[in-house]
Amino acid sequence: MKDNIRLLVTFGFAAILVLMFSLASVSLLQLQSINASMEKLVKVTNMKTAAVNDMRDAIRLRADSLKTMQLTQDIFERDAEHQQFINHAGKYRMAREKLVSLGLDEREAAINGELQQLTRASQPFNEDASELLMSKASAGEINPVMEQAAVLQGLILDKLEELIRLEQQNTRAALTVSRRHYNRTRQLLFVLTGMALLLSLLISRTIIKHVSAKNRQLAYLASHDPLTGLINRREFECRVERAIRNASAQGATHALLYLDLDQFKIINDTCGHATGDELLQQLAQLLLGSVRHRDTLSRLGGDEFGMLFENCPLDKAVEIANNLIKAIDDFTFTRDDTTFTLGISIGVMPIDRSTTDIASAMNAADSACYIAKESGRNQVKIAHMGDRRLQERHGEMQWASRLTRALEEDRFALYFQPIIPCSEKSVHDRHMEILVRLIDDDGSVIAPGSFLPAAEKYNLLSSIDRWVIDHTMTWLAATNSTGGNRPVIVAINLSGQTISNPGSLNYIIDKLEETGVSAEHIIFEIPETVAITNITAATSFMLTLRGCGCRFSLDDFGSSLSSFTYLKKLPVDFLKIDGAFIRDILSDPVDHAMVKSINKLGHLLGKEIIAKSVETHETADELRLMGINFLQGYVCAQPRPLNNYTQSQAPRLVLVSS
């Protein structure tokens, strides 16, 4: 009996294989034939449709060019638009030739013939209209010709629309033929499939059992962390959301805990990820011993865990959290004769009727955990909605999201502020500092002081710097190519994150090559504190780009007590004096002496000196008498959008000596 079953199963498998092979062969041959014909049809139709659309766009753009020539009073703009008018005619001819080269059926050829007749008929009117517009003819002469040209252009557009509809009809007809082929293939497949189905019933039970076991495994993995066996973040958030609904409906009180291990990265980096995984497994078992049967423990990701205590008052949750800290503090992990100790920071968020949604609850618990870590680690922080630090943390997290979205949507804008030479004999070209602004969702302009602190905290400064470098060099390439004999020199601010990023140098050098900008027209400004904090990396960064021809300015010079100590080591070309010394230079003798000393020492070292935050003519005059090279501030000009810059608007500062 057993041999008969085995024989039956073997025969069944063999028969199924034959039927499935036949089924697959027939299906592939039919589908290959259908696909080949459909691919060819779709490709040709798409190319024809694209050509017709190009013809339609060219006709519309020619009409727009005539209207623009009629409306503009500037002869140069009109001449430029006339050139565009001619170019659009060329594009129309190229698109029509491409359409004809693809092959036309009888109806397409007929419509094309009508298009050619209309094109020939409209050409004299278009040419007459453009010549009249270029010769400044009167409206009485121009308008009749324009009207006739517009009528013929409308007829051409109608024919093009008819041609597009015809292509769509051809596509639908082909789809109908393809559908008939498909139906015949499907009928054949039904017959073969039915035969295969009868035989496959003999072995379906085994397959079903196997699939069911797999499904159970997948369902488990979908809601659990494969490393620790704890539920994962997705399932945890579902339970938290359910607890929030319960608190809102029944007035129950729950507690949400956000746990972040301290010093885990040291173990992971020292002993390897396999050891780190083993440690997480041990900690998961340790934490499981601290929760009740109805509570939830989850691994949220990395070294972060979450706990949900249902029907648990806040004071009890805090007590459990403190016990967890003690348990982790007593826990030791040994690997290769090395003993490691850990800490844990915990944020506690009460869930009650006031809890509105899971996002705010999770963010509040996460922020409280972050504050606990910042406050010295290994402690518990309760999330109170009125807590100033919690609100600041939440605000920073929102800024991080807004900045990331702004980078994706290109919602930054460049501003500039001129840097004016003090001496009329200065050989410097137009010199300006590039500034960045954020364009908010409602179109308002946000100053950098509002978003740069959050950008620095969440490591977004390097991305913003790259945006500024990219857009500035693109603008500078276009401006200096038409700027005559006095090219623009721009100063671009760089953050510490950019200086320490290994890829920044290659990015800047690639941008210089890509845009063709002359490196001598670029000055990079680096804050003094950034340069001094990591003087080795900063010096290497500067030397590399100076080798390409770029120059450097040390911003906010004098803000550090060790400014003069490091000045000889830094390969900079300019010193920009901290504005705190400039503002009160006329009333504060200490500030006056500091500025004078910086100026003298800077010149002694071959640096050029820039004074920023210059707000009055009296201050500007005093700085000129000292021998300062450049001035920057509201006395010269306020920051303005870079897209409003013109070569003729470079401001000049008249200084009146005391």
- Contacts of residue 356, defined as CB under 8 A and 6 or more positions apart, other chains included, come to 244
Closest CA to 608 of 616, 618, 617, 598: 598
d(C-alpha 436, C-alpha 454), whole Å: 15
In the DSSP assignment, the letter for residue 656 is -
Q: Which of 368-382, 560-574, 625-639 ranks highest by mean pLDDT?
A: 625-639
pLDDT for res 655: 45
Single-letter amino acid code for the residue at 432: M
Give the distance, in angstroms, between the CA of residue 286 and the centroid of all CA atoms in the same chain.
Answer: 41
Task: Examine the pLDDT at 615 and tell me if it is beyond 70.
Answer: yes
Q: How many CB atoms lie within 10 A of CB 45?
A: 16
The fraction of the chain above a pLDDT of 70, given in percent, is 87
Structure tokens at 152: 């013929």
Cα four-point dihedral sign 406, 411, 416, 417: negative
d(C-alpha 497, C-alpha 500), whole Å: 5
The structural domains of the chain, with segments of one domain joined by +, span 2-200, 228-385, 410-649
Rounded alpha-carbon distances, angstroms, from residue 447 to 32, 410, 413, 432: 60, 16, 10, 18
Structure tokens at 414: 């460049």
Q: Using H for helix, E for strand and C for coil, what is the string for 562-609? A: CHHHHHCCCCCCEEEECHHHHHCCCCCHHHHHHHHHHHHHHHHCCCEE
The fraction of the chain above a pLDDT of 90, given in percent, is 25
The residue ranking higher by pLDDT, 629 or 192, is 629
pLDDT for res 205: 67
Rounded alpha-carbon distances, angstroms, from residue 417 to 363, 389, 433, 434, 595: 39, 35, 5, 7, 22
Rounded alpha-carbon distances, angstroms, from residue 318 to 226, 247, 463: 29, 19, 40
- Contacts of residue 519, defined as CB under 8 A and 6 or more positions apart, other chains included, come to 512, 545, 548, 549, 550
Structure tokens at 46: 């798409």
The tens digit of pLDDT for each residue in 157-185 reads 787 787 778 777 777 777 777 777 777 77
Domain 228-385, what fold? Answer: Alpha-Beta Plaits (3.30.70)
Closest CA to 150 of 283, 284, 78, 60: 60
- What average pLDDT score do residues 253-269 get? 84
d(C-alpha 76, C-alpha 134), whole Å: 10
Structure tokens at 99: 């359409």
Task: Examine the pLDDT at 215 and tell me if it is beyond 60.
Answer: yes
pLDDT for res 217: 78
CATH of the domain spanning 2-200: 1.20.120.1730
The residue ranking higher by pLDDT, 58 or 622, is 622
Task: Examine the pLDDT at 657 and tell me if it is beyond 50.
Answer: no
pLDDT for res 471: 95
Domain 410-649, what fold? Answer: TIM Barrel (3.20.20)
- Do residues 430 and 646 make contact, with C-beta atoms less than 8 angstroms apart? no
Looking only at the bridges linking them, the beta strands covering 574-577 and 551-557 are parallel
Q: Quick one: pLDDT band at residue 19, thresholds 50, 70, 90?
A: low
Structure tokens at 612: 């920023």
The tens digit of pLDDT for each residue in 555-605 reads 888 766 556 777 878 899 999 998 888 988 999 999 999 999 989 989 998
pLDDT for res 62: 78
Long-range contacts of 293-296, Cβ-Cβ distance < 8 Å, separation of 24 or more: 296/231, 296/236, 296/239
Composition of the chain by helix, strand, coil, percent to 5:
65, 15, 20
pTM of the predicted protein model: 0.50
- Do residues 552 and 571 make contact, with C-beta atoms less than 8 angstroms apart? yes
Cα four-point dihedral sign 228, 232, 236, 237: positive
Looking only at the bridges linking them, the beta strands covering 488-493 and 380-382 are unpaired
The tens digit of pLDDT for each residue in 34-88 reads 667 767 777 777 787 888 788 878 777 877 877 787 777 777 777 887 788 788 7
Share the mean pLDDT of the chain.
Answer: 81
Per CATH, 2-200 and 410-649 having the same topology is answered no
The tens digit of pLDDT for each residue in 399-408 reads 777 888 889 9
The tens digit of pLDDT for each residue in 239-251 reads 999 999 999 889 8
Single-letter amino acid code for the residue at 178: S
- What average pLDDT score do residues 459-486 get? 87
DSSP notation for 297-339:
EEEEETTEEEEEETT--HHHHHHHHHHHHHHHHH-EEEETTEE
What residues form DSSP beta bridges with 417? 433
d(C-alpha 524, C-alpha 473), whole Å: 12
The tens digit of pLDDT for each residue in 87-103 reads 877 887 887 888 788 88
Q: How many CB atoms lie within 10 A of CB 213?
A: 10
pLDDT for res 529: 85
Task: Examine the pLDDT at 542 and tell me if it is beyond 90.
Answer: yes
d(C-alpha 609, C-alpha 602), whole Å: 7
Q: Quick one: pLDDT band at residue 521, thresholds 50, 70, 90?
A: very high
